[in-house]
Amino acid sequence: MPELSQETERGRGAAPFGLAEVTGPSMVPTLYQGDQLLVRYGARVRAGDVVVLRHPFQQDLLVVKRAVEPREGGWWVLGDNAYAGGDSTDYGTVPEELILGRALFRWRPRGAGQRSPLALMRWAVSAARPVLSSDRSGRSASRRLRAR
């Protein structure tokens, strides 16, 4: 259930920014298969941010999830697609040292079937977007629901 291309680790030590390719369904509808992410490594993480992390049990596997809230022992992370799994509901909190960075920007490549002028125009309007927190105040949706 890999979420990111392993190529994201190459050259990461020298630059605070890197590129990552999404390869799984767990962040749909925010991120889709083939989306490219601009990642800021070492960035401060707040609740609601989309983050790149090492899988707690397979540390050679990189995944992208939403940081929901800090808990004792690390961050509780969830995918935006509740049916995909592979998040803290399976492996618990993620230690802070396994959180590599925060996704800042998403670029969606053009699909093979997008040839008509209308399809190209729709793609151009939506291809590049910032990756926003789930709530501009930094509070996650699950925290708001639990508080009710």
Query: Going by DSSP bridges, is the β-strand pair 74-78/36-41 parallel, antiparallel, or unpaired?
Result: unpaired
CA angle 67, 140, 143 (to 5 degrees): 110
- Using one digit for the tens of pLDDT, what is the confidence trace for 81-106? 989 989 999 999 999 999 999 999 99
- Using one digit for the tens of pLDDT, what is the confidence trace for 28-79? 999 999 999 999 999 999 999 999 999 999 989 999 999 999 999 999 999 9
Query: Going by DSSP bridges, is the β-strand pair 17-21/74-78 parallel, antiparallel, or unpaired?
Result: unpaired
Q: What is the model's pLDDT at position 122?
A: 82
Is residue 63 within 8 Å of residue 55, measured between CB atoms? yes
Q: What is the model's pLDDT at position 35?
A: 94
- Using one digit for the tens of pLDDT, what is the confidence trace for 137-147? 444 444 433 44
Please list, in sequence order, all residues whose beta carbon lies within 8 angstroms of the beta carbon of residue 45, skipping any fewer than 6 positions away: 51, 67, 75, 99, 102
